[in-house]
Structure 1
Amino acid sequence: MLKLPGLPAFLVLVAIASSSSARAQIFQSDAVATPLIELYTSEGCSSCPPAERWLSALKTDAGLWCKFVPVAFHVTYWDYLGWNDPFAQSGFTDRQRAYADAWNARSVYTPGFVHQGREWRPGNPVASPTTPGILTVERSAAGSGTVRFSPTSPVRQKTYTATIALLGSDVSIAVKSGENAGRSLPHDFIALHIATVALTAQPDGTFTGTFAAPPATLPSTPRRALAAWVSTTRDQTPLQATGGWLP
């Protein structure tokens, strides 16, 4: 898909001509890497609210979606303290543990930040940006869509996987038990649902795939966004990311 001159690289809105006048959104990165910032958190962790406030402040940062893509993964391993985090999923815990294994870390913890696949503290220096290629996601009004990754230097023997995440923001939860009992916790960029897509190599050197709409049973949130990133099949480290707010 060609980038349109004069329009923001990270988000292009296009109207699709159809009898239902449905609208699709196109999210697109530049060739230079847009880092994925991951926060591993839990409502059962008394140390997490300051980290979540930091993440929430990114809503007004000019670099949001074009300079970085934030995602908050709520983990399950603090639920035993007496409060079941309503946004926690075992798959998110598994993702954090996979990072720990890759880093030869002895354990996982919250709050835990990951910047482009590396353990990180906000404000710490990060590696110089790379130029992995352009990631494009087209999402229909119904929530399904297509993914295209155009590597800067195509390598035929590599295989890629794309992850599409539906995010919730402007959420506030009254915690009634556990370490944060009695507190009202605000949340933003919560991962509500993720879909993993194996991308198929095309003759033109790009890699493409499709994803289904998320379940209709997901928690309702005042504001939603989409985040997407691409990795090699055997390594979950994000190579490129894109995203934006949904209507």
Structure 2
Amino acid sequence: MRYFLAALSVFGVMHATQVAAQDDPVVVELYTSQGCSSCPPADEMLHDLAKRDDVIALALHVDYWDYIGWKDIFANPAFTARQHAYARAANATSVYTPQMIINGVEQVVGSRPMQVMDALQAQREAGSLFDLQLTRREGAVLIAAEPGQGGDYAVQLVRYIPEETVDIRRGENAGRKLSYANIVTSWEVVAEWDGRSPLAFEAVAEGDSPIVVILQQSTDGPIVGAAVLR
């Protein structure tokens, strides 16, 4: 784990370069693949969701479509494992693309806009248990939250590329030039938290790409808090 505890002094916060605004954003995880012919509509929808201030939209590219002729350049077996963990938690027998998992609890087909919007609205109305405050400093991010409901929470640090276009030459999408939004490059558990004491620590976050922090019951349960520094 790449993190260390740090006191969040008033001086440190005042000299931060950027602070996240809080408005209970809903986390949308899209499980997708460049080798999946059904995925482009969901990828386009994620572009729209990525523009919303009340949504943290994340594209996790899986690797189980790579065998049919095109290797997804963004695919990560860890994202496939995360999707399988959600399936086990929901007692599902299989995984698929495009799938959207919303706040860790709502699982919908990612190419069905009405289902996605209904799930978003439900989670928006439910709100979050915790408000996260993020402060970016050179090479690090300060993560803070007030205590509340006790539990077994994973503090997760996510980095992503805002947008990239890919010329796909083989597989089901051969000949298409497709644009992808908020492409996750890393997803790391940086701490565990019981929710009963103040959360305050500094995690390594090098580079200037966006930073997302997600509080989640275990790593495959409900998301109870999230914030982003774009």
- TM-score, normalised via structure 1 length: 0.76
Q: Distance in 1 between matches of 2:220 and 2:35?
A: 29
Q: Does the 8 Å contact 1:72/1:191 carry over to 2?
A: yes
Alignment pair present for 1:145 and 2:137: no
Show the counterpart of 2:41.
50
Alignment pair present for 1:232 and 2:204: no
Unmatched 5+ stretches in structure 2: 1-7, 109-114
Secondary structure in 1 matching 2:73: coil
Q: Distance in 2 between matches of 1:199 and 1:206?
A: 12
Q: Distance in 2 between matches of 1:236 and 1:165?
A: 17
CA RMSD of aligned residues (A): 2.7
More displaced stretch, 205-214 vs 36-45: 205-214
Show the counterpart of 1:186.
179
Show the counterpart of 1:105.
92
Amino acid at match of 2:107: E
Secondary structure in 1 matching 2:118: coil
Amino acid at match of 1:187: Y
Out of 159, 167, 172, the residue aligned to residue 160 of structure 2 is: 167
Task: From the two aligned structures, give the one with the greater helix fraction.
Answer: 2
Q: Distance in 2 between matches of 1:59 and 1:213?
A: 21
Alignment pair present for 1:25 and 2:25: no
Secondary structure in 1 matching 2:84: helix
Quote how far apart the aligned CAs of 1:198 are: 1.3
Secondary structure in 2 matching 1:29: coil
Q: Distance in 1 between matches of 2:198 and 2:149?
A: 8
Alignment pair present for 1:119 and 2:107: yes
Q: Does the 8 Å contact 1:197/1:209 carry over to 2?
A: no
Show the counterpart of 1:133.
130
Q: Distance in 1 between matches of 2:220 and 2:65?
A: 26
Residues 159 and 102 of structure 1: CA distance in aligned 2, closer, same or farther (over 3 Å): closer
Q: Figure out how many residues of one structure are paired with residues of the other and give that number.
A: 211
Q: Distance in 1 between matches of 2:213 and 2:131?
A: 12
Out of 177, 186, 191, the residue aligned to residue 170 of structure 2 is: 177
Amino acid at match of 1:212: V
Residues 235 and 76 of structure 1: CA distance in aligned 2, closer, same or farther (over 3 Å): closer
Q: Distance in 2 between matches of 1:191 and 1:176?
A: 22
Q: Distance in 1 between matches of 2:197 and 2:21?
A: 18
- TM-score, normalised via structure 2 length: 0.81
Q: Does the 8 Å contact 1:43/1:85 carry over to 2?
A: yes
Unmatched 5+ stretches in structure 1: 3-13, 17-22, 217-222
Q: Distance in 2 between matches of 1:70 and 1:82?
A: 28
Q: Distance in 1 between matches of 2:39 and 2:194?
A: 41
Q: Distance in 2 between matches of 1:47 and 1:148?
A: 39
Q: Distance in 2 between matches of 1:161 and 1:39?
A: 20
Task: Point out 4+ residue stretches in structure 1 off by more than 3 angstroms.
Answer: 199-202, 233-236
Quote how far apart the aligned CAs of 1:164 are: 1.3
Q: Distance in 2 between matches of 1:238 and 1:149?
A: 14
Q: Does the 8 Å contact 2:163/2:179 carry over to 1?
A: yes
Quote how far apart the aligned CAs of 1:54 are: 0.7
Q: Distance in 2 between matches of 1:38 and 1:48?
A: 13
Q: Does the 8 Å contact 2:60/2:79 carry over to 1?
A: yes
Overall identity of the aligned pairs, in %: 30
Q: Distance in 2 between matches of 1:86 and 1:242?
A: 27
